């Protein structure tokens, strides 16, 4: 599994990718953000989470530097022990939430994804 961002003709990069870039440019390649580290821009801890999501649940907005181009992402942290400015890396997990706890059928979607772990 990859944490796939998209680079566009104008050099901009978004995560997740889109059919058109921020200025309307066409996509030209994908980039696996799991091969990079990022800096925590800000974070928060939710104490009232949706069904099946761990409680407490620390979330972070992080910024990757991909060839000088900033790319931001939001996601769960592996620990509540993070601070603004920390260096983190994406780590794949099989379940971001417990599949049977929500209203969706567990087979109806993928439950895996990435969390951010301090380096």
Domain borders along the chain are: 4-98+109-118
Strand partners, 13: 7
Q: What is the pLDDT of residue 107?
A: 74
Q: What is the pLDDT of residue 104?
A: 67
pTM: 0.90
β-bridge pairing 4-8 and 27-32: antiparallel
77: which DSSP letter?
B
Can you tell me the distance from the alpha carbon of 41 to that of 82, in angstroms, rounded to the nearest whole number? 11
Under the banding of pLDDT at 50, 70 and 90, the label for residue 9 is very high
Q: Is residue 69 predicted with pLDDT exceeding 80?
A: yes
* Residue of 82, 110, 107 lying closest to 96 (CA atoms): 110
pLDDT in tens, 30-64: 999 999 999 999 999 999 998 888 999 999 999 99
Cβ 49 vs Cβ 55: under 8 Å? yes
pLDDT in tens, 75-110: 999 999 999 999 999 999 998 877 777 666 767 777
* Residue of 21, 38, 39, 22 lying closest to 30 (CA atoms): 21
Q: If you count them, how many residues does the chain have? A: 119
């Amino acid at each position: 599994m990859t944490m796939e961002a998209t680079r566009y003709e104008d050099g901009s990069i978004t995560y997740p990718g889109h059919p058109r870039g921020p200025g309307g440019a066409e996509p030209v390649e994908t980039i696996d953000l799991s091969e990079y580290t990022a800096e925590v821009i800000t974070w928060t801890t939710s104490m009232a989470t949706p069904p099946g999501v761990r409680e407490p649940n620390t979330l972070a907005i992080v910024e990757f530097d991909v060839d000088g181009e900033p790319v931001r992402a939001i996601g769960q942290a592996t620990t509540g022990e993070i601070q603004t400015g920390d260096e983190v890396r994406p780590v794949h997990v099989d379940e971001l939430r417990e599949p049977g706890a929500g209203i969706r059928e567990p087979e109806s979607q993928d439950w895996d994804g990435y969390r951010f772990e301090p380096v």
